[in-house]
Amino acid sequence: MKKEAIQKDQIEPYFQKWDKLSKEIYQAHDEWNREMAQNLMEQGIALFEELMVKASDTDSEKLEFHEAYEAMPLNGLERFQFIKARPGQYACYVQLDELFKEVKKRLARLRVQK
């Protein structure tokens, strides 16, 4: 875990971007616009992946499913695989939203511990 990478000023922009994207994804699902929802979800997936890589002590540019990530929630990689496989589904939007919330809490806890 990179201590400087998990400082609030470093990671908060990711959560702000997700808040904005999340509202747009919800709206797309509400309007039954599956194509738009999927495109927005793909942006959210990339944002989550970028956040996890930035916060982790890794040289990889994307999440590797054989690695352990300290900031990743319980069953996070399995859930992330599910989301990536079906980005147009509303259930995947809900899961990605939950992952962002859990990671935010986890990073706050790690900042206090480090």
Burial of 88 (0-12, 13-18, 19+ CB in 10 A): middle
Q: Mean pLDDT over all residues of the chain?
A: 89
Report the alpha-carbon distance of residue 4 to residue 11 in Å, rounded.
10
Report pLDDT digits (tens) over 29-61.
999 999 999 999 999 999 999 999 888 876 677
pLDDT band for 96, please (50, 70, 90 cuts): very high
The pLDDT of residue 1 is above 60: no
